[in-house]
């Protein structure tokens, strides 16, 4: 059977108006209602700035990580690594985290609020508490952001270890292991995805800044003198990554650092326009040879690279790209959110909420919706769901009207909905609905998996 021409859902309404996300609370509510993100330990009142990813959120987060991992490691010059969270404590001494990884902390003696002194406008401009306005404040003091714990049966200073505040040190201490085992020549990179922990003084804005988070970092080792070239190349590659997965150009910008970290020769942030304004999404840094030189000094190991062809030794420079998985998850949700507003002849508004994800990011790729709960349809729809689930993350929904079910799938970003109707009994075909175009097409069941696969690969959105 040949596919029938596409048909657009009938409407007697006015031309639609698109409203973008303006308030982060809207997204927090949707995330809980639809199973993206929940407050951690909510039944006990929650734990500050800790979040759990629900049924849809865990799927989507996996998709976010997969997109980044594929972009990094499906190359001929980058390998992957999965380093331990707990590392030898001297690692953090060499990296500078023990002595220098801190924020200035101030206490309000009246309302007992604690806040960072370096990024709180009311304190910087007026020397007053951002919560109550009091000027009865403590002196600034440095607060180390690393979480401490103990290894072994005795809790003494000799047993102190740290929960890592970044994944990057795992790349550096394994530089020689990765280079020699993979036999890669410089330039080459090491990529990793993993949990990190920072005891932030002022976390907030949903999952934007949390104390437990997941990082996606790549360290690219280059010959000194070529570092500026590769720094600029990785800026462009990272920008193209975001555009590929559907983030709008106007939502992104580069912001060079006004003040460089002690290890950096150059640094720029990729900023995303969140509801609270442009904020850091990813950092791209030229870290010079600081990291390998420091670990060589503290470990006593030679971490020089030997170029056999040119008979030269050098400590490589490092170009770093580092993005928070949780922040990227949030950016995808913010940029995908839209409300399509139309009015009927009487002026009444109808709002269709859509998460217009790129198909690779969407948690559910296809939903199976029997038109009725009658056995004649469910005995076709249920096996069809299993057929599609062999290739795609699939959801089955038979509750309420077909219109309401379409809206539920729109709100979680499902690219395709498949409706099993009474004609299916005779023609063994189903109606496939496109999320963004809102077109419908009749497709034979036996061709459905291939049709969905092709549609996802060649996705053409109207946004």
pLDDT of 263 > 90? The answer is no
pLDDT in tens, 359-375: 999 999 999 999 999 99
- Check residue 202 and give its pLDDT: 75
Q: What is d(CA 123, CA 88) in angstroms, rounded to the nearest whole number? A: 38
312, 344 in Cβ contact below 8 A? no
pLDDT in tens, 376-403: 999 999 999 999 999 999 999 999 999 9
- Check residue 8 and give its pLDDT: 53
Averaged pLDDT for residues 412-440: 97
- Check residue 23 and give its pLDDT: 92
Q: What is d(CA 39, CA 49) in angstroms, rounded to the nearest whole number? A: 8
CATH of 364-463, one of 3.40.190.10, 3.40.50.1860, 3.40.50.800, 1.10.30.50: 3.40.50.800
Q: What is d(CA 156, CA 149) in angstroms, rounded to the nearest whole number? A: 10
Q: What percentage of the chain carries pLDDT values higher than 90?
A: 80
What does pLDDT average to over the chain? 93
Which residue in this structure is represented by tokens 């990190």?
A: 196
Beta strand 337-343 with 305-307: parallel, antiparallel or unpaired?
Answer: unpaired
Tokens standing for 125? 């401009």
Three-state SS at 54: coil
pLDDT of 12 > 60? The answer is no
pLDDT category at 103 given cuts 50, 70, 90 is confident
Q: Which residue has the higher pLDDT, 91 or 262?
A: 91
Three-state SS at 48: coil
Torsions phi, psi for 25 (to 5 deg): -60, -30
The yes/no answer on whether domain 15-86+166-356 falls in CATH 3.50.50.60 is: no
pLDDT category at 462 given cuts 50, 70, 90 is low
Tell me the longest C-alpha to C-alpha distance in the chain: 81
Q: What is d(CA 164, CA 394) in angstroms, rounded to the nearest whole number? A: 36
Q: What is d(CA 364, CA 359) in angstroms, rounded to the nearest whole number? A: 9
Give residue 175's Cα distance to chain centre. Answer: 26
Q: What is d(CA 174, CA 221) in angstroms, rounded to the nearest whole number? A: 12
The domain segmentation of the chain, as residue ranges, is 15-86+166-356, 364-463
pLDDT in tens, 184-227: 999 999 999 999 999 888 778 999 999 999 999 999 999 999 99
Averaged pLDDT for residues 428-455: 97
Give DSSP secondary structure letters for 205-216: TTTTB-SEEEEE
Which residue in this structure is represented by tokens 């442009």?
A: 278
pLDDT in tens, 58-97: 999 999 999 999 999 999 999 999 999 999 999 999 999 9
Q: What is d(CA 296, CA 286) in angstroms, rounded to the nearest whole number? A: 19
- Check residue 159 and give its pLDDT: 83
- Check residue 463 and give its pLDDT: 58
Q: What is d(CA 232, CA 239) in angstroms, rounded to the nearest whole number? A: 11
- Check residue 1 and give its pLDDT: 36
Q: How far is CA 192 from CA 254, 301, 305, 324, 365, in A?
A: 23, 23, 21, 12, 27
pLDDT of 176 > 70? The answer is yes
pLDDT of 4 > 70? The answer is no
Q: What is the DSSP letter of 201?
A: S
Tokens standing for 337? 């959110």
pTM (predicted TM-score): 0.90
Q: What is the DSSP letter of 5?
A: P
pLDDT in tens, 267-318: 999 999 999 999 999 999 999 999 999 999 999 999 999 998 889 999 999 9
């Amino acid at each position: 059977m040949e596919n029938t021409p596409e048909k657009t859902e009938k409407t007697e309404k006015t031309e639609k108006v698109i409203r973008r996300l303006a308030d982060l609370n809207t997204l927090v509510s949707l995330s809980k209602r639809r199973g993206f993100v929940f407050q951690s330990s909510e039944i006990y009142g929650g734990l500050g700035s800790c979040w759990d990813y629900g049924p849809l959120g865990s799927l989507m987060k996996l998709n976010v990580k997969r997109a980044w991992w594929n972009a990094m490691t499906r190359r001929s010059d980058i390998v992957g690594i999965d380093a331990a969270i707990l590392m030898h404590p001297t690692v953090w001494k060499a990296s500078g985290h023990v002595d220098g990884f801190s924020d200035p902390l101030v206490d309000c003696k009246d309302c007992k609020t604690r806040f960072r002194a370096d990024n709180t406008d009311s304190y910087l401009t007026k020397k007053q508490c951002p919560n109550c306005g009091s000027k009865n404040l403590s002196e600034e003091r440095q607060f180390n952001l690393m979480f401490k714990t103990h290894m072994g049966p005795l809790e003494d200073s000799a047993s102190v270890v740290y929960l890592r505040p970044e994944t990057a040190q795992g790349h550096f201490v394994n530089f020689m292991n990765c280079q020699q085992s993979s036999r890669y020549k410089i330039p080459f990179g090491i990529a990793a995805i993993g949990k990190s922990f920072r005891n932030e003084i002022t976390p907030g804005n949903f999952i934007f800044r949390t104390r437990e988070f997941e990082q996606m970092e790549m360290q690219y080792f280059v010959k000194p003198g070529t570092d500026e070239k590769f720094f600029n190349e990785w800026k462009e590659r990272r920008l193209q990554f975001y555009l590929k997965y559907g983030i709008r150009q106007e939502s992104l910008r580069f912001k060079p650092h006004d003040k460089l970290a002690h290890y950096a020769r150059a640094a720029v942030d990729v900023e995303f326009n969140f509801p609270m304004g442009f904020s850091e999404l990813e950092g791209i840094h030229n870290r010079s040879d600081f990291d390998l030189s420091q670990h060589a000094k503290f470990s006593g190991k030679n971490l020089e690279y030997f170029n056999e062809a040119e008979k030269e030794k050098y400590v490589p420079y490092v170009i770093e790209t580092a993005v928070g998985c949780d922040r990227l998850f949030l950016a995808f949700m913010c940029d995908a959110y839209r409300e399509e507003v139309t009015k009927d002849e009487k002026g009444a508004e109808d709002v269709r909420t859509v998460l217009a994800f790129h198909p690779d990011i969407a948690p559910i790729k296809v939903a199976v919706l029997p038109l009725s709960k009658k056995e004649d349809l469910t005995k076709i729809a249920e096996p069809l769901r299993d057929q599609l689930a062999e290739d795609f993350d699939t959801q089955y929904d038979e509750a309420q009207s077909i219109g309401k079910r379409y809206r539920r799938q729109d709100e979680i970003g499902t690219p395709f909905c498949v409706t099993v109707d009474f004609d299916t009994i005779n023609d063994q075909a189903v109606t496939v609905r496109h999320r963004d175009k809102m077109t419908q097409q009749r497709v034979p069941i036996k061709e459905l998996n291939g049709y969905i696969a092709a549609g996802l690969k060649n996705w053409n959105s109207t946004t």
